[in-house]
Structure 1
């Protein structure tokens, strides 16, 4: 898990360096980045079908965690590209590394739409779809 967290820290460094997020903070299954408006969780879920998952959640104190959306859904909803740009399946270490970088690239593309209050509204609209 430490190798995964290290790879995520490198791939998602733009969140800290360019956008002002804090993190990465270790979590049970990966890492989390936080800003005043958003929380980004990147997880490696092992098991029968291992996968990399990224969840984007508004950081408002009254918003339960379930109000977040998966990156692939938000990416498609926002018109950034197809869900294939954000695959999850990670059956090998090489595939896991590739997925981490694909998720980071998708989030980087999406990030201008997520900054400020507009991001929370976009997430809310995505959840309603």
Structure 2
């Protein structure tokens, strides 16, 4: 259990570094530490990166719109949004993280996918993409 707890901390450090572009380039603030990962807040958008340490460990990223009154709407998974937007295949955003090395690689892959998607998310098209993704 100690090794996995240590992996959670390594995950947070890697996610903080890899997703720093949200703060540095996209006007987000944070990250805020959550039980399972990190939460970045932006104007109208939250990005939450998790390390789910269970029977089948996973890295996952959620994109959630936030209304002007601060109410957070139901989010969508990065891999679904990435595919729907035409940025690439779901294989670019894998989740399975059975080892330390795989966990760190997944963080890098999720950050790269979000970096590619972010210019579209920060426009009016982003809200439309999220709405289309929610509809399935």
Q: How many residues align?
A: 127
The runs of 4+ residues in structure 1 deviating greater than 4 Å are none
Structural mapping, 1:1-129, within 5 Å: 1-60=8-67, 61-64=70-73, 67-129=74-136
Q: Residues 117 and 62 of structure 1: is their aligned pair in 2 closer, same or farther, counting only changes over 3 Å?
A: farther
Comparing 105-114 with 53-62, greater Cα deviation is found at: 53-62
Q: Unaligned 5+ residue runs, structure 2?
A: 1-7
Q: Which has the larger radius of gyration?
A: 2
Cα-to-partner distance string for 1:3-29 (whole Å, 9 max, x where unaligned): 211110100111000001001110010
Distance of 1:14 and 1:62 partners within structure 2: 24
Comparing 115-124 with 71-80, greater Cα deviation is found at: 115-124
With structure 2 as the length reference, what TM-score do the two structures score?
0.89
Aligned to 2:4: none
Distance of 1:94 and 1:113 partners within structure 2: 30
Q: Which one scores higher on RCO, CA 8 angstroms, separation ≥ 6?
A: 1
